[in-house]
Amino acid sequence: MENDVLLKVEHLKKYYSIKTSSLKKATSYVKAVDDISFEVKVGETFGVVGESGCGKSTMGKSVIRLIEPTSGKIFLDGEDFTALKGKDLVKAREKIKLIFQDPYASLNPRMTVKDIIGEPIDISKKYPTKQQRDERIVEVMKQVGLNLDYMYRYPHEFSGGQRQRIGIARAIALQPKLIICDEPVSALDVSIQAKIINLLKQLQKDLGIAYIFISHDLSVVKHIADRVVVMYLGNVMEMADKKDLFKNPSHPYTQALLDAVPKISEERIDDKDVLSGDVPSPANPPKGCCFCTRCPKAMEICHSIKPELIEIEPGHQCACHLFTNQK
């Protein structure tokens, strides 16, 4: 693995079987994540965008093995993360953490802030004495801007933004190299969103953490990401440096998403409502290109042959027949 590559994901798939009847065997699958490969470099932010149900959260949870991938390989810091079990998996998970969309649901309501942050520390035994544990808790509370007077309070006593700070404090307690942020600000007010984004950026600068930043909000991803992948129906449509992607969006789906951005921010409606046509069910995706039922540029070939993800410029990949030789 190249020196600056922290995470390498190869052909990741997550399929869910569907039973057509209780008497029959499973006959079909929902392909929530369908053969995705990418890399995340040390200290970078890798943005993941797409509409609700495109598989971006499933991808994030599969990478950390909160849900087990159906197939594929995940290499974390040079180690085959997919092959780890038991204590080795617990140890490797010190390097990769997850922040959830809903901080309240992800915090145990019966635990104080101190114990919530202390829980991963206790499991790891990285700070074995009580003094070391308590000092580490104080340190991370300061790093995320939490008042130390809050240490013995419970999650219900906090606002959404403060709860997300508690979640971030818990995530950084063991000095991870990578945090998967799954829609970390979408449940927060806009003014609070900016504060949490700035906190994440500051922590990245101070601690060198890499992020996989999952969001349906392109303006947030534009602000925080270094590189971006666009997902649709469990597939990668386009992947590029942020500047390239926003300046020169090449896939018709990316173009449609970007065209919808002003409407999203002005009208505060979900992006799925501003793109024409319904998203097909991942249980019954279109044959050929998965975007062909909504694509204004669809050609005959698009309805029968799935386009490969190909490099159209250095570091810029796109899965569309407009760029293949099969038009």
Q: What whole-number distance in Å separates Cα of residue 144 and Cα of residue 141? A: 5
Per-residue binder mask for ligand SF4 (CB under 6 A), 246-265, x = binder: -----xx-------------
174 versus 318: smaller Cβ distance to ligand SF4: 318
Phi and psi at residue 73, in whole multiples of 5°? -125, 145
Q: Interface with ligand SF4 includes 227 (CB under 6 A)?
A: no
Walk across the sheet containing 79-80 and list its strands.
28-41, 5-18, 71-76, 79-80
| Minimum CB–partner distance for residue 325 and ligand SF4 (Å) | 13
Q: Is the dihedral of CA 85, 87, 93, 99 positive or negative?
A: positive
Q: Interface with ligand SF4 includes 307 (CB under 6 A)?
A: yes
| Minimum CB–partner distance for residue 10 and ligand SF4 (Å) | 24
Among 132, 269, 297, 326, binds ligand SF4 (CB under 6 A): 297
Among 291, 309, 312, 317, binds ligand SF4 (CB under 6 A): 291
Q: What whole-number distance in Å separates Cα of residue 226 and Cα of residue 89? A: 29
Only one of the segments 64-72, 91-99, 102-110, 287-295 lies at the binding site for ligand SF4 (rule: CB under 6 A); that segment is 287-295
The Cα-based distances of 143 to 60, 178, 185 in angstroms read: 25, 17, 18
Q: Interface with ligand SF4 includes 302 (CB under 6 A)?
A: yes
200 versus 233: smaller Cβ distance to ligand SF4: 233
Which one-letter DSSP state was computed for residue 126?
A: S
Q: What whole-number distance in Å separates Cα of residue 239 and Cα of residue 111? A: 41
Q: How many helices (H) and strands (E) does the chain have?
A: 9, 12
**Of 32, 4, 30, which Cα lies nearest the Cα of 18?**
30
Cβ neighbours, 10 Å, residue 101: 18
| Minimum CB–partner distance for residue 204 and ligand SF4 (Å) | 33
Residues in the chain: 327
Site residue total, ligand SF4 (CB under 6 A): 14
| Minimum CB–partner distance for residue 276 and ligand SF4 (Å) | 13
Q: Interface with ligand SF4 includes 231 (CB under 6 A)?
A: no
Cβ neighbours, 10 Å, residue 219: 11
40 versus 239: smaller Cβ distance to ligand SF4: 239
Only one of the segments 30-38, 151-159, 242-250, 297-305 lies at the binding site for ligand SF4 (rule: CB under 6 A); that segment is 297-305
* Contact indicator for 318, 238 with CB cutoff of 8 Å: yes
166 versus 320: smaller Cβ distance to ligand SF4: 320
For ligand SF4, the binding residues (CB under 6 A) are: 251-252, 289, 291-292, 295, 297-299, 302, 307, 320-322
